[in-house]
Amino acid sequence: MTTELLFRSDAYLKTAQAQVIAVHERGIELDRTIFYPMGGGQLGDTGVMLRASGERIAVADTRKGDSIDSVLHIPASSMPQPELGETLTLEVDWQRRYALMRLHTALHVMSCVVVAPVTGGNISPDKGRLDFDIDMSLLDAQGIEHETNALIARAIETETVWITEEELDARPELVKTMSVQPPRGAGRVRLLRIPGIDLQPCGGTHVQNIAEIGRIRVIRIRSEGKRNKRVEISLAVT
């Protein structure tokens, strides 16, 4: 089933109402959602769905379903089951999601400081990482941290841009990630643009202005194999 992905046009929605369109063993499907399903290296959202009675259904994870734009809200164990057609009030765990958005956007900035093909990536609420196909000797933690923070300090507004799959095919240089290709089949591809810094296909959630990231710290650099040199960052505690 198809779900309207409200976070795509507004990543800052903390609450919304939605109707239940399917309930099955893999999860609960809704007509619209603010919960981001795990993808592109970003973890799925958690939160709660409130019933009209006030009863709470805790959402332990959010995953993609089988079809394009299908989203599975996975309830925590022994939660009440909603009825088909029931209206629920969704509340995303905003503190966790906002940390994911800040780290995710920080990785976009960092991917322009380390100039090398990206072979992997992951974002959890406490840290994010990118793997690069690069020689270890070219990775300097202090330098990466300093340059990334200098770019973040430019406080640039981010933009979402849509292009057709044909346009993307004509500009393969836009795709930095060798392991995560943008989803295909919908006819158009979503890009994140940080003017003057980065432009690449991405379906994730980002902050509106890169200043919201604050400062980052490079917490570790290590080799995870010949083509995977991993740079791990966290948000600096200020």
Which residues lie near Zn ion (CB under 5 A)?
Answer: 192, 202, 204
The closest of 95, 107, 94, 96 to 213, measured between CA atoms, is 107
Instruction: Let me know the angle formed at the C-alpha of 203 by 199 and 207, rounded to the nearest 5 degrees.
Output: 70
Closer residue to Zn ion (CB): 47 or 204: 204
CA distances from 94 to 49, 80, 219 (A): 14, 23, 24
Closer residue to Zn ion in complex, CB, 75/203 = 203
Q: Considering the complex, what minimum distance in angstroms separates the CB of residue 154 from Zn ion?
A: 18
- Rounded to a whole number of angstroms, the minimum distance from the CB of residue 150 to Zn ion is 20
Distance, in Å, from the CA atom of 224 to the CA atom of 115, rounded to the nearest integer, reads 18
- The residue among 87, 88, 108, 85 whose CA lies nearest residue 47 is 88
* Closer to Zn ion by Cβ: residue 202 or 207: 202
Shortest distance, position 35 Cβ to Zn ion, whole Å: 17
DSSP3 helix / strand / coil % (the chain, rounded to 5):
20, 40, 40
Of 149 and 205, the one with the shorter C-beta distance to Zn ion is: 205
Least distance between Zn ion and beta carbon 203 (Å):
7
